[in-house]
Amino acid sequence: MSTNVKDKIPSSPSPTPSSSLSSLTPFVHFSKGINGLDKVILRDSRGSSAEVYLYGGHVTSWKNDNGEELLFLSSKAVFKPPKAIRGGIPICFPQFANHGTLDSHGFARNRFWSVEDDPPPFPTNTLNKSFVDLILKPSEEDMKVWPHSFEFRVRVALGPGGGLMLTSRIRNTNSDGKPFSFTFAYHTYFSVSDISEVRVEGLETLDYLDNLQNKERFTEQGDALTFESGVDKIYLHTPTKIAIIDHEKKRTFVLRKDGLPDAVVWNPWDKKAKAMADFGDDEYKHMLCVEAAAIEKAITLKPGEEWKGRLEFSAVPSSYCSGQLDPQRVLQGT
């Protein structure tokens, strides 16, 4: 699927208010989280789980069958609107970072989403019973800063093998006939043992924009990405599969994405970490953001058109040969 795949779909019924929720299915239930914020807990029969806060439509936890946390969430994260939650998977929409006139990363991560009982259908894994559908529509305040009507749906699902899947669908519902454009990212924070022991495979030889050097364009060198200082890069025209290898944990995260041509790699390192009130001074050592995104070329939708961006994560044991992972084995899925 390209970033410009769009379909006309019918209007949907109104979402279910969060206050009416209790237990949705044996695999999905509703709960109160930190500071009383509503959250949805997903579980599968093998023991993996995920937690999604309605504030921000924000995935804050993804655990494997052994109960190990796979996402990074800062110990200083603030669960108090309008502050965005530091860690997990913030959704950046309708603007990534400062690529526009809105506040950094747009407003979707700072809004309360609703659970949608009966969203418009789309193909999905019939074996997948642990999922939740959320929807966001603009408020009057949102329309003042970004004067466009939209419906933003996201499905968060656990796969049969314990993987995590996010599918976003954004539809232009403007009644004035006007198109709109946006940029987007799943700002995923992965939990790693030690940032100095992490490699990222799949971005070799690609062009990138370096946000630490005024968005200047460079070409990546070397066999893989390793980390010895802060990084904030937007890789362009990236493959559909990217691997994050954590040598110490002998674990590899595999990202598979569709409709999201770019990939952001970010770690603040020590000085910036200390400057962030909602981030521990040394926490940069145990996280890495690798973000599936659509940034360089904004997505434009005419009224009635819909864009879809899909992201799937899996965590698998790393395979070694002389201390090195064979990147082609992971990237080719063999």
Q: pLDDT for 12-41, tens place per residue?
A: 333 444 434 455 577 999 999 999 999 999
CATH architecture of 29-316: Distorted Sandwich (2.70)
Report pLDDT for 102. 83
Q: Quick one: pLDDT band at residue 7, thresholds 50, 70, 90?
A: very low
Query: Considering the chain, what is the average pLDDT of its residues?
Result: 89
Confidence (pLDDT) at 17: 42
User: In the chain, pLDDT over 70 holds for what percent of residues?
Assistant: 86
pTM: 0.89
Q: How far is Cα 294 from Cα 285, in angstroms, rounded to an integer?
A: 27
Evaluate whether 94 touches 111 at the Cβ level (below 8 Å): no
Which of 114-118, 179-183, 232-236 shows the lowest per-residue confidence on average (mean pLDDT)? 114-118
Integer CA distances (angstroms), 75 to 7, 32, 79, 88, 273, in order: 41, 19, 11, 12, 13
Of residues 125, 178, 190, 121, the one with CA closest to residue 153: 121
pLDDT score of 329 more than 80: no
Q: What is the pLDDT of residue 123?
A: 65
What's the confidence (pLDDT) of residue 80? 96
Residues 158-172: pLDDT tens digits? Answer: 987 899 999 999 999
Q: Six-digit token pair at 303? A: 């009224």
pLDDT by residue (tens digit) across 94-143? Answer: 999 888 778 888 999 999 999 998 888 866 555 678 999 999 999 999 99
Question: What's the CA angle centered on 218, arms 205 and 323, to 5 degrees?
Answer: 40
Q: Do 306 and 170 form a contact (C-beta atoms < 8 A)?
A: yes
User: Distances from the Cα of 31 to the Cαs of 53, 74, 163, 278, 299, in angstroms?
Assistant: 9, 21, 22, 24, 35
Domain ranges for the chain, please list them.
29-316
Of residues 139, 158, 141, the one with CA closest to residue 150 = 139
Strand 207-210 relative to strand 164-172, pairing: unpaired
The answer to whether residues 73 and 189 touch, using CB atoms and an 8 Å cutoff, is yes
Catalytic residues: 187, 291
Q: How confident is the model at residue 4 (pLDDT cuts 50, 70, 90)?
A: very low
139 neighbors 152 (Cβ within 8 angstroms): no
